[in-house]
Amino acid sequence: MPGIHLALIQLQVGADKSANLKNAQAAIQKACSNGANLIALPEVFNSPFGNEYFDHYAENIPGESTEMLSEAAQQHGVYIIGGSIPERDGGKLYNTCTVFDDKGQLVAKHRKVHLFDVDIPGRMTFRESDSLNPGNSLTTFEMPNCKVGLGICYDVRFAEMAQLYAHQGCHLLVYPGAFSMTTGPAHWELLTRARALDNQIYVAMVAPARDEKATYVTYGHSLAADPWGKVLVSTQEKEDILYADINLDYLEEIRNQIPIRKQRRTDLYGLCIRLALIQLAVGANKSANLKSAQAAIQKACSNGVNLVALPEVFNSPYGNEYFSNYAENIHGESTKMLSEAARQHGVYIIGGSIPERDGGKLFNTCTVFDDKGQLVAKHRKVHLFDIDVPGKITFKESDTLSPGSSLTTFDMPNCKVGLGICYDVRFAEMAQLYAHQGCHLLVYPGAFNMTTGPVHWELLARARALDNQIYVALVSPARDEKATYVAYGHSLAVDPWGKILASTQEKEDILYADINVDYLEEVRSQIPIRKQRRTDLYGLWTSGADGRI
């Protein structure tokens, strides 16, 4: 596959912003003449580094500096990671990295998450927080065949951040940085190589050139390290341009040789859940459907997921005329494939649903397998899809299927998941009970139609998430316009704030979303509706003579 030819520009930065921009522009042109297709500039490339400078040199985005980056990216047809600049936004200052694609479009903006506040007695005291505000999110962007994660300088000290980026499927981490002469000689290269080795990923650090006369003297020594922890390229303290090739085949080779990604004990670490939603094209050939699902699971697992969800009726066309013909016992052909895939890849799999045959009845059933391939949950669709929208759609699942009679949850390390299937999502009480039982995530494999999907699908997902301050994922089959039942598609995941984390259109796709239980608790503490509920009025939460919960 085509590789990434990365250029790291160790730039001399002075007090003249215009001169800094011209210097950066010339260096970008030189790097492009040497075949680079991804260029990275250093931290605060348009300004001297220091609290006394940030406010004076700060710009809005877009502004003078980012407009230069956009024009250069478009002119040369390259991606540019614009180091960072002091950004002014809404009366606040940030240390911000912008990324422009080869058309000159802004594709990412990362605000430094961890501010540089240190006190090393007798050697150095610095408090970025005296003038800057921290960012509040991790930032990635995608090039053809390469996913890149961003940090700025002090961010590199936080191993958790790099781990999450690797967990999200990044191949390369880039940290524009300006380490000092106190910490640089001891920590700069060590941190770069450690992040690369620990996460089996490429890591690049790009610094300003050293200016001994500056109020803040940077270490320089830009470098790139490979997934083996080997320094690919490095320089000393002066202006320079370094070049490194990001070889994704080599990255996979290293990961196969020392397979720590598969050997991690995530049950002990408490990292967030990396969820993959597989929007699968489903046809009349069951064997082909299973092979397609198997391949998609493998692809999702190569991107560092630990929970995979398939769509409703993933092994069969959807419709009463198909359910009996495609129905299986559990364990049957479809669930055996799920079990083997879960064990092989060491992930949990929510097996969408299949038509299940049991005791002379048919059910629409979701099975869940843990990372050892063991069946840990089985949910039968509780609310059958019986509707009549005159002139548009009439459907009665109850003509062939029987309803389930229980709610279903399962536990992963540090995350409790509640299950529903399609029409179940319309019943707010079900989601409320799951939240009351301590679920962090609700997953609904579903196949909404072209009548209700465009209006209700996203709305219901966001409503369930916001009302219950919980993560919600809906995973659909891909749309097939020739099918007797045409699914809407548009799989998505929503966070506890009601924000869409990931979504797609109607075609086959794999979506990825991070389920961060700490963020869930943060949202619940900010708007504490769980503590403010008037359960004395609702009758939902306390046991009564009629057995309501």
User: Active-site positions?
Assistant: 312, 381, 422
CB count in 10 Å sphere of residue 46? 29
Distance CA 172, CA 50 (A): 28
Tell the residue number behind the tokens 């998430």, with chain if given: 465
Angle formed at CA 290 by CA 286 and CA 292, multiple of 5 degrees:
115
Which residues partner with 244 through β-bridges? 6
Distance CA 1, CA 115 (A): 37
Tokens of 371: 């990372």
Distance CA 63, CA 91 (A): 16
CB count in 10 Å sphere of residue 126? 19
**Phi/psi of residue 242, nearest 5 degrees:** -105, 150
Nearest CA among 392, 74, 13 for reference residue 214 = 13
Tell the residue number behind the tokens 């966001």, with chain if given: 462
Nearest CA among 395, 350, 397, 396 for reference residue 369 = 350
Whether the CB-CB separation of 441 and 420 falls below 8 Å is answered with: no
Tokens of 489: 């598609």
Please state, in angstroms and as integers, the Cα–Cα distance from residue 51 to each residue in 54, 59, 130, 180, 270, following that order.
5, 15, 7, 15, 36
- Residue 193 CA to chain centroid, in angstroms? 24
Nearest CA among 342, 350, 334, 413 for reference residue 371 = 342
Distance CA 481, CA 489 (A): 11
Nearest CA among 260, 343, 267 for reference residue 304 = 260
